[in-house]
């Protein structure tokens, strides 16, 4: 996965703001989605992302994996990331 080249982003505290100038949209990521986004930038695999989230939060493994995949799917749907 990679961040699309038209995307501009900034981190403020624990929140990432994503600007898509082509579609004139701004997306605000919560703390968990921000972690996932930053790990995608670092070319981390889903398993590595899952380990990080499990370490940071008290969450069930299956629920964690599902949430990660849901967030990745949403970022793809919004044109923020691609394969």
pTM here? 0.89
**According to the model, what pLDDT value does residue 74 have?**
95
**Cα–Cα dist 22/29, whole Å:** 19
**According to the model, what pLDDT value does residue 12 have?**
92
For 13-51, write each residue's pLDDT tens digit.
Answer: 889 999 999 889 999 999 999 999 999 999 999 999 999
- CB contact set of 29 (below 8 Å; sequence gap of 6+): 15, 16, 17, 18, 37
Residue 11 pLDDT greater than 90, yes or no: yes
What percent of the chain has pLDDT above 90?
89
Q: Which sequence spans correspond to the domains of the chain?
A: 2-82
**Cα–Cα dist 17/60, whole Å:** 27
């Amino acid at each position: 996965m990679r961040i699309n080249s038209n995307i501009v982003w900034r981190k403020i505290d624990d929140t990432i703001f994503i600007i898509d100038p082509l579609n004139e949209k701004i997306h605000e990521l919560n703390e968990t989605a921000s972690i996932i986004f930053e790990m995608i930038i670092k070319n981390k695999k889903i398993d590595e992302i899952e380990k990080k989230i499990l370490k940071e939060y008290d969450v069930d493994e299956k629920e964690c994996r599902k949430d990660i995949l849901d967030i990745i799917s949403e970022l793809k749907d919004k044109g923020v990331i691609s394969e």
